[in-house]
Chain A
Amino acid sequence: MLSRVAERLYWTARYLERAENTARLVRVFSSMMLDLPKGVGLNWRQLVDVSGAHEHFDRNYRTSGERNVIKFMLSDMDTQGSVISSLAMARENIRTTRDLVPSEGWEHVNELHLFARKKLAGKSIPKDRHEFLSEIIMRCQQITGLLAGTMSHGPAYQFVRVGRNLERADMTTRMIDVGSATLIAPGVELERLENRLWTYVLRSLSAHQMYRQYVRRRIQPGQVLAFLLQDTIFPRAVAHTLGEIASCFEKYLPHSEEPLRAALRLQRLVADANTEKLHTEGLHDFIDLLQFEFGNLHQEISATWFSMEMDEAL
């Protein structure tokens, strides 16, 4: 399969997953803003920080009220990672790999992009925000399922799988950032609030029920963290996504030594984390480290399969 096509499939999956997770992030943050007591110091600006695009935001927006932040996260075409630009990029990438993707795949992505564009046209905040976000999430899941259920699971699909899982790992760590107490103003009584925060995080990742089956006890921050980082069977847990990526490399893709090494290094890093300790101190730095390593893994993937130099290959 063509290197360029592999790259586009990988990005199709990443952008779809990004659109879904950005919608999840906005949905959970919106309900937190509604539910949590005003005194805890939560504000919309923090959503921008979690998304990792604060520099871009500061360059283009003067104030960080609800309207601006929601616009930034949902309908700003110039924001890398806003729902609309992610969908537009997913569409552009799948449009240019239509020969390898079942035509329904293209049709659904195209329709989803049309739907979002129509709903967001001329508005910074969609009227029925919750329903809109839920529909985006559901339709992204539909497409993910469609590709899993209709594409042959050869190399083309493996690049979809790698892209989806790497993006998902990254976004799960961002959700964890929401739960880490860094959002809460110093001096606020944490203990009772903390459990509620982690419940939000679990819900935002559709992980609440799975977590209950996993621990069968009330929500405990250390345990939630262990579940979201280290569980190997919950699909949005970091350890699971890394396992998926490593299996793609090992079983299906040629010349995968270097990327595999990077994935295994990440797996060890996650498995060795002391979650009980992390949740009280150093969590934010650990998340930063993971996100940096995700970037490295992407570099390895790109160097191995996408940007191979012609002369070397000859």
Chain B
Amino acid sequence: MQIEWTTYDPGEFYDEMISSPGNPRRAAHAIASYLQRLSAKQLGRRQHAADLAIAEMGVTFTVYSEGTNIDRTWPFDIIPRIIPQKEWTRIEEGLKQRMTALNMFIHDLYNEQKILNDGIVPKKLISGSKSFLPQCIGASPRFNVWAHICGSDLVRDKDGTLYVLEDNLRVPSGVSYMIENRSITKRVFPELFRKHHILPVDDYPAHLFDMLASLSPRPLDYPEIVVMTPGIYNSAYFEHAYLAQQMGAELLEGGDLVVGADDCVYMKTIDGLQRVDVIYRRVNDEFLDPEVFREDSALGVRGLMRAWRAGNVALANAPGAGVADDKVIYTYVPAIIKYYLDQDPIIPNVPSWRCEDREQREHVLANLDKLVVKPANESGGYGMLVGPHATTVERGKFVNLIKRNPRNYIAQPTLGLSTAPTICGQHVEPRHLDLRPFILQSDRTYVTAGGLTRVALRKGSLVVNSSQGGGSKDTWIVDTGGN
């Protein structure tokens, strides 16, 4: 399996490490020549060591469709994905800009609705959105920030342009894998970390803690911060536990909380009830409070919305923040940035067609075999159509879906996602990937150094989701002093 870059050919795609057979990109030079010096046996041994470390640490991703909580280790590829620091600095600026504008947008929607009145975003788009929660109208979370934790998915097209593919403003997951991946690569390639300047990622929990603490309604030195999980059967339970542990916060479920007659939130402890200040909730809006949302929710807390509206507890992310990660709203983000910040977006959106618009819809229907169609309100890659890979029957199904509910769909060109060298059996081959950096916002904004690189392990596949056969890589922001 010894790596020979001269025979590694990413073809028509942009490869993150190798620009053309035999030629590593500048920031990846050192790692490429290092990898090439490893014998097949050494490389195999290191991948094996990584797999062992993962099994031991119990890095697992439960997949819903498997029913019970069967642990499945999430495949990890030891070859890191390299991004030069200069490029990263610009991406970081772009993400901060985007997050700031999105939070101003959400706050505006639940308060004055200036952007709707000015006709930048159509009113009926909001009134028809499942994710717009009337229960949140008039609320003012601290710093007017609603989405405190965001995971934005970035992809690179054939020509090397980086796009924002989507913003996850509800309960984005994956950050624990970013941190664990780094600790695994440090075990596997310790010598590389001694020699190169690679930006650290393990300070994320500390930043998360500070951000959450800044939201506390009580000015205390030690606010009571908790992580609220739907429970062990949730696919990201591992991450909930991990983050709670790293922050020294309680990990709890809805059943551990109660809202008192004073509209404050308390947790049930061996000492009796104890007040909670900040809830980092990993439970979706609709399950948060059976008094206001789904009555049958066993995951939530009766009265939680009352306590939040009264300002007695902070929820991160705030309920209703998901209104801005609707795929149709996404198409308006460049306009939203312009409207609130009077700036052009630093990172572009993927060009998109809104099926709601008659002309654009006709274009979409006529070109289904070239486009990717996405529903407005799904995540995890569910319910979408990848035109070029779909059968005639599948495409026909989408023609009907779009015609029946055009507001619910957008379409985008099929991007030729960039690739990176990945160990596949006995060879190193290019595999498509994306990147999910995490952004924290309260009165300050923080962006992770890199993020979680997800890789589609099946040859030619563009689907990187962990729930659909994806794996992950460590992501290195490398300071080379040049471009």
User: Which A residues are closer than 8 A to B by beta carbons?
Assistant: 1-6, 92, 95-96, 98-100, 103, 106-107, 110-111, 114, 155, 253-255, 305, 308, 310, 313-314
Docked-complex contact B245 and A98, CB < 8 angstroms? yes
Docked-complex contact A99 and B258, CB < 8 angstroms? no
Q: Which residue in A96, A254, A305, A314 is a CB contact (below 8 Å) of B232?
A: A96
Cβ of B201 within 8 Å of any chain A Cβ, yes or no, is no
In the assembled complex, the Cα of A169 lies from the Cα of B152 at a distance in Å of: 54
Cβ of B56 within 8 Å of any chain A Cβ, yes or no, is yes
Docked-complex contact B249 and A95, CB < 8 angstroms? no
Docked complex: B221-248 residues within 8 A CB-CB of A: 227, 232, 237, 241-242, 244-245
Task: Given contacts A5-B250, A313-B273, list 6 more A-B pairs with CB under 8 A.
Answer: A2-B252, A99-B245, A103-B245, A107-B58, A313-B268, A314-B273
Chain B facing A: main interface SS: mixed
Docked-complex contact B267 and A2, CB < 8 angstroms? yes
Given A3-B268, A313-B268, A314-B260: A114 and B250 interface contact (C-beta under 8 Å): no
In the assembled complex, the Cα of A98 lies from the Cα of B242 at a distance in Å of: 7
Smallest CB–CB gap between A54 and chain B, Å?
A: 29
Docked-complex contact B256 and A2, CB < 8 angstroms? yes
On chain B, the residues within 8 Å of A106 by CB distance are: 58
In the assembled complex, the Cα of A110 lies from the Cα of B55 at a distance in Å of: 9
In the assembled complex, the Cα of A254 lies from the Cα of B271 at a distance in Å of: 6
In the assembled complex, the Cα of A253 lies from the Cα of B271 at a distance in Å of: 9
Cβ of B269 within 8 Å of any chain A Cβ, yes or no, is yes
Given A107-B57, A114-B55: A3 and B270 interface contact (C-beta under 8 Å): yes
In the assembled complex, the Cα of A313 lies from the Cα of B274 at a distance in Å of: 10
Q: Which residue in B56, B242, B251, B261 is a CB contact (below 8 Å) of A107?
A: B56
In the assembled complex, the Cα of A111 lies from the Cα of B237 at a distance in Å of: 19
Docked complex: B255-284 residues within 8 A CB-CB of A: 255-256, 258, 260-261, 267-273
On chain A, the residues within 8 Å of B153 by CB distance are: none
On chain A, the residues within 8 Å of B167 by CB distance are: none
On chain A, the residues within 8 Å of B249 by CB distance are: 99
On chain A, the residues within 8 Å of B325 by CB distance are: none
Which residue in chain B gives the minimum CB-CB distance to A155?
Answer: B270
In the assembled complex, the Cα of A5 lies from the Cα of B253 at a distance in Å of: 11
Docked-complex contact A99 and B250, CB < 8 angstroms? yes
Which residue in chain A gives the minimum CB-CB distance to B241?
Answer: A98
Docked-complex contact A314 and B242, CB < 8 angstroms? no
Docked-complex contact B245 and A313, CB < 8 angstroms? no
Q: Which residue in A110, A253, A310 is a CB contact (below 8 Å) of B56?
A: A110
Docked-complex contact A2 and B250, CB < 8 angstroms? yes
In the assembled complex, the Cα of A3 lies from the Cα of B249 at a distance in Å of: 15
The 10 closest A-B pairs by CB, nearest first: A99-B245, A99-B244, A98-B241, A99-B251, A305-B270, A110-B58, A254-B271, A3-B268, A310-B258, A313-B273
